[in-house]
């Protein structure tokens, strides 16, 4: 990668408007070959960084979605047990037993690659997205540290598999639990905030260029005002873009022109029953009146 400003421009050219801090962190992570840890509220665009980087580098995006109970079988590798059983039966019918059969069934032919193993075996470095690492157990986080330190994985039946290429690693976290100091030390870090007005307008212009500037300003102003309300699930950038697309599809050119339709389009922004109840028609009208 070149300097961070060139990287920031390249990201923008591919539809992602990055802050200077985020562009610098991504540049340093790429230069040093270190994982990048992105923290921030859900919906601020952390996952989209990895998608855009993969597109920009014209490489594969490999995603590991973390969750409670995630283990090595889902994240790294496992054996194709059904094929192994079939091979054992076929070998027995042919009179083969013992070590010969064992060597055959514990070979590459029966190995199922999961995201972490797949990422280090690509000839062209992929972007490895480890999404919502804070949802995984601490035990899995500790195991992940070993892989990120050496970029190699030991399969007892095959030995140590060393990375063919070093993937570009991006981890995201939403603050579900505290991450270990050991993981933080191994990563370059950036906190991704909700975008300010200027940045969010730039995002909207990139993604929905057909929307007139006046309406775009109203949309961003309305969503940013809505985020300041007492909500369970604050609408993120993706929801803002859905809201904008819905308004454009309905032919709305001014947020104040049809309060009833505007209220109905909040299905794109409010994702819980409590939040829908917290934003009745009068609140929507008040927020729309501020930006009209």
Distance CA 246, CA 268 (A): 8
The structure's pTM equals: 0.88
| Exposure on the CB side of residue 3, measured as CA atoms within 13 A | 1
Arithmetic mean of pLDDT over the chain: 91
Based on DSSP, count helices (H) and strands (E) in the chain, helices before strands. Answer: 15, 9
**H or E segment to which residue 61 belongs:** strand 61-65
Closest to 66 in 3D by CA, of 120, 115, 125 = 115
Per-residue pLDDT tens over the stretch 202-239: 999 999 999 999 999 999 999 999 999 999 999 999 99
Higher pLDDT, residue 266 or 149: 266
Per-residue pLDDT tens over the stretch 60-72: 999 999 999 998 8
Predicted local distance difference test score (pLDDT) of residue 98: 66
Q: CATH 3.40.50.300: does it fit domain 4-73+114-191?
A: yes
Distance CA 213, CA 232 (A): 30
Q: Residue ranges of the domains in the chain?
A: 4-73+114-191, 78-108, 197-291
- What does 58-85 look like in DSSP terms, one character per residue? T--EEEEE--TT--HHHHTEEE-HHHHH
Predicted confidence (pLDDT) at residue 26 exceeds the cutoff of 60: yes
CB 27 within 8 A of CB 4: yes
Beta strands in 90-137 (DSSP E): 111-113, 127-131
- Relative to beta strand 127-131, strand 61-65 is parallel
């Amino acid at each position: 990668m070149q300097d961070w400003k060139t990287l920031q421009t390249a990201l923008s050219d591919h539809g992602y408007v990055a802050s200077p801090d985020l562009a610098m962190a991504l540049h340093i992570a790429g230069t040093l070959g270190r994982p990048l840890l992105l923290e921030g509220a859900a919906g601020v665009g952390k996952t989209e960084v990895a998608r855009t980087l993969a597109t920009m580098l014209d490489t594969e995006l490999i995603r590991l979605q973390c969750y409670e109970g995630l283990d090595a079988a889902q994240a790294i590798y496992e054996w194709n047990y059904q094929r192994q059983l079939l091979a054992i039966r076929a070998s027995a019918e042919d009179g083969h037993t013992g070590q010969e059969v064992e060597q055959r069934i514990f070979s590459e032919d029966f190995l199922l690659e999961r995201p972490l193993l797949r990422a280090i075996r690509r000839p062209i470095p992929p972007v490895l997205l480890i999404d919502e690492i804070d949802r995984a157990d601490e035990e899995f986080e500790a195991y992940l540290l070993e892989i990120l330190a050496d970029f190699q994985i030991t399969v007892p039946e095959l030995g140590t598999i060393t990375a063919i290429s070093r993937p570009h690693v991006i981890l995201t976290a939403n603050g579900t639990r505290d991450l270990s100091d050991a993981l933080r030390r191994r990563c370059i870090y950036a906190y991704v905030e909700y975008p300010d007005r200027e940045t969010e307008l730039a995002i909207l212009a990139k993604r929905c260029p057909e929307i007139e500037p006046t309406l775009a300003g109203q949309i961003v102003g309305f969503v940013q005002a809505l985020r300041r309300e007492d909500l369970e699930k604050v609408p993120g950038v993706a929801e803002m873009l859905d809201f904008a697309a819905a308004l454009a599809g309905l032919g709305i050119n001014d947020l104040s022109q049809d309060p009833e339709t505007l209220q109905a389009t909040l299905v794109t922004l409010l994702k819980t029953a409590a939040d829908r109840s917290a934003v009745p028609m009068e609140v929507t009208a008040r927020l729309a009146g501020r930006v009209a």
